[in-house]
């Protein structure tokens, strides 16, 4: 048992190696990448990052991604809150079927929806807008948000509701003043997962945008197919997409395991 720590240590090493390699590439010039094979940059350069921060076609991708991800998180959490409350506190006609139907949408392959979404949003004039991507991502994020929040809310004793109503609180006032502070960590975890799944999704975001709302991930694939050579800039763009994730993990590090445990179990 003394060597038990080796297993997670080796696994983490396996996880970090490819990421280290990406960072390594992003700090090299293109000539160095293609000519010398070295484990660390010989001539450290930030030129690749400078390209991304000065070229609008690159950095606008990050802004676009951030905008639609934020809209999606706000919509998902605000809409899912009352629904999750209903599922956790009341039984009503068709509640189980509705819950299952919501979950099936989490399981729907985005590839099935790509083309119909394109036609739907084109026909209502929302194609290439941030709101279109945000609503499209609700397809899998809303069910997930309801699922996670329902788990957290079921952990709150029902007496809290009843006491508040006896004290003369109206439902909206009770919900905002008492209930939401009680499940604050649950809302944090939900926002984390909505952020995560909207941030990493490519297929729908790419299908629904052309110029104005093009996400960074789509810009990266375009660069791969067009030149396929500028590895340094590509690696730098990749490193920059990892940073928001790291920041979000840092803020919710104490809730991750709890969120998985309560939200999905």
User: Please, which of residues 49-108 interact with another protein by CB under 8 A?
Assistant: 75, 79-80, 82-83, 85-93, 95, 98, 100, 102-108
- Residue 222 as a binder of another protein (CB under 8 A): the answer is no
- Residue 47 as a binder of another protein (CB under 8 A): the answer is no
Q: Which stretch binds another protein (CB under 8 A): 43-51, 52-60, 109-117, 176-184?
A: 109-117
Distance CA 235, CA 138 (A): 30
Site residues (CB under 8 A) for another protein, limited to 182-201: 196, 199-201
Distance CA 55, CA 18 (A): 27
What letters, b where the CB count within 10 A reaches 16 and e where it falls short, cover 32-58?
bbeeeeeeebeeebeebbebbeeeeeb
- Residue 164 as a binder of another protein (CB under 8 A): the answer is no
- Residue 34 as a binder of another protein (CB under 8 A): the answer is yes
Distance CA 145, CA 79 (A): 9
- Residue 16 as a binder of another protein (CB under 8 A): the answer is yes
Distance CA 68, CA 50 (A): 25
Question: Among all chains, which residue has been given the structure tokens 């293109």?
Answer: 30
Least distance from another protein to the Cβ atom of residue 208, Å? 11
Least distance from another protein to the Cβ atom of residue 261, Å? 4
Distance CA 178, CA 174 (A): 5
**At a CB cut-off of 8 Å and minimum separation 6, what does 248 contact?**
192, 195, 196
Q: Which stretch binds another protein (CB under 8 A): 41-49, 50-58, 177-185, 240-248?
A: 240-248
- Residue 231 as a binder of another protein (CB under 8 A): the answer is yes
**114/178 with CB nearer another protein:** 114
| Structural Rg of the chain based on CA atoms | 22
Site residues (CB under 8 A) for another protein, limited to 137-156: 138-139, 142-143, 146, 154
Contact 49, 236 (CB under 8 A): yes
- Residue 265 as a binder of another protein (CB under 8 A): the answer is yes
Tokens of 144: 């997930």
**12/184 with CB nearer another protein:** 12
């Amino acid at each position: 048992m003394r060597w038990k720590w080796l297993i997670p240590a080796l696994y983490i090493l396996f996880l970090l190696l490819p990421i280290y390699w990406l960072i390594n590439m992003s700090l090299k010039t293109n000539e160095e990448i293609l000519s010398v094979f070295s484990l660390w940059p010989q001539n450290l350069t930030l030129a690749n990052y400078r390209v991304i921060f000065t070229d609008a076609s690159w950095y606008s991708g990050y802004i676009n991604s951030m905008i639609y991800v934020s809209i999606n998180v706000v919509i998902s959490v605000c809409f899912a809150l009352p629904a999750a409350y209903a599922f956790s506190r009341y039984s009503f006609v068709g509640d189980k079927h509705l819950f299952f139907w919501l979950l099936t949408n989490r399981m729907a392959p985005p590839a099935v929806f790509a083309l119909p979404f394109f036609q739907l949003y084109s026909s209502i004039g929302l194609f290439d807008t941030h709101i279109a991507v945000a609503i499209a991502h609700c397809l899998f994020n809303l069910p997930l948000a309801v699922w996670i929040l329902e788990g957290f809310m079921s952990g709150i004793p029902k007496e809290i509701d009843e006491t508040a109503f006896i004290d003369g609180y109206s439902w909206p006032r009770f919900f905002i003043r008492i209930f939401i502070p009680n499940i604050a960590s649950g809302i944090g975890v939900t926002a984390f997962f909505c952020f995560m799944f909207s941030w990493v999704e490519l297929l729908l975001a790419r299908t629904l945008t052309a110029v104005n709302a093009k996400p960074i991930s789509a810009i990266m694939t375009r660069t791969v197919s067009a030149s396929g050579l500028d590895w340094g800039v590509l690696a730098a763009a990749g490193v920059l997409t990892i940073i928001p994730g790291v920041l979000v993990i840092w803020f919710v590090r104490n809730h991750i395991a709890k969120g998985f445990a309560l939200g999905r179990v």
